Amino acid sequence: MAQKLTKIIGITFLVQIGVFGLGLLNNVLLSRWLGPANLGIIALFFLFTEAIHKVTNLGIETANLYYISNQKFPRKKLIGTNFINGLLTLCLGSGLIILFIQTHGLTLFFEPQEATILARGAYWSILLLFAYMTFDYGTKMLLGHQQFYRYNKIMLARPVLFFILLSASYFQNKLDVAHVLAIYSISWLLPGFYMWWQQIPFPLVWDREITFASVRYGTKIMLSNLLTFLNYRVDIFLVGYFLTKEMVGWYYVALIVSEKLLYLTQSTSTIFFPAASQSTQQQSKTPIISRTNLMLVALGSLVLGILAPWGLPLVFSDKYLNSVPPLLWLLPGVVALTLPKVLSADFYARGRPELSLYTGLVNFVLNVILNIFLIPRWGIVGAAISSSVGYLVAAALMAFYYRNMTGVPFREFIIPKAGDWERLKEI
């Protein structure tokens, strides 16, 4: 019997709102306490480590979710095998970080001064990588088991822990870039350890069939996620390359504020993917889920666009007044991005993650070309325009794939209908 999703998505969304509030508070404190330049350095560390994580994880944690949901393999054996695979990918990622440092490969992506900063703090990137993997594997296992309420508690605990540790460091006058990176790592690691502890005992055995199946499915997810990450963040790399660290800080604030609008969509796709992997009945709910998410994000973007010119400097301080123009240009792209996020969950559940991969590749190439052309001319506004255009193209491609695969007309999953609210209560 298919599980009703409305209540779970609603609770997850409320939790995400709480996470949003705490995350916004944490970002405001970081912005005020560190200033744009130091915030830009931290952003570079996050981006470098996330990029390594996306390149080396092979999508195994998402394959865990998929195969736990559809129960193709014995659960304990699956977890044990992919625990070993996770350790191997951690070694691969750590080795890649060290290789970049030792061969001065960071200068290919960063200015010499920025590359030197990253090289001096390479151990932070390795710790961050371990923290990301521990947390990601843990949350995917919870979702695969459809333990949505426990998942929500964990998601809320992480920013609370970060806030406590951040405040303690600040009031002890110990807050600098190194302390923030340590605090950030701990706030991912401790919840991650807790989730793994809940899975004990499991056999430490390596199964060839599970590994090959996980890598076949997961690699497509990994490449798609990598391209998605690059599409979200390549503009920051290029802003850092063409402009200054202060401008990176301004643009980073515009990005993190605009992306908060996608919490409802992220909550929806988080719950919908494991549910739809288990039941074709759940997959039939994609159109109404898609069009209602699109409508709500569009309304949120309108409100944010009206409030941003005075609200953003008020919250983050006048130092971030220059974040307002790129934020406004990012909003159309954020609305468009709703569609790929919902439809990707549907494609993943149907075992067709390559469709998201194709879309991400087109989006990435277009985004890089536009950024290289527009950033030197229009600065961080040019980066925002490039992102919005890329997201609009991605939305069009995903809509085309979904219509061709299912035969559902465009209007069914894009245009809201009267009575949608009542229909949502039934799903």
Question: What pLDDT, in 10s, does the model give residues 346-375?
Answer: 998 888 888 888 998 999 999 999 999 999
Determine, yes or no, domain membership for 78: yes
| pLDDT number for residue 426 | 62
Please give the C-alpha separations between residue 391 and each of 253, 277, 313, 337, 397, in angstroms, as whole numbers: 19, 26, 26, 6, 10
Count of structural domains, the chain: 1
Domain assignment present for residue 274? The answer is: yes
Contact of 422 with 416, CB cutoff 8 Å: no
Which among 309, 331, 312, 307 has a CA at the least distance from the CA of 385?
A: 331
- pLDDT of amino acid 2: 47
94 in a domain, yes or no?
Answer: yes
Band the pLDDT of 326: cuts 50, 70, 90.
very high
pLDDT over threshold 60, residue 1:
no
Domain range enclosing 53: 6-424
Query: 263-278 vs 122-144: helix axis angle to the nearest 10?
Result: 50
Residue 340 lies in a domain: yes
Residue 371 within a domain: yes
Cis peptide before 201 (omega within 30 of 0): yes
Q: Is residue 1 part of a domain?
A: no
Structure confidence by residue, pLDDT tens digits, 260-312: 888 778 778 887 888 777 777 777 888 888 898 899 899 999 999 999 999 99
Does residue 49 sit within a domain?
yes
Inside any domain, residue 307: yes
Give the residue carrying structure tokens 């509030």: 21
For residue 427, how many other CB atoms are within 10 A of its CB?
17
Note the pLDDT of residue 62.
85
> For tokens 């690699």, what's the residue?
219
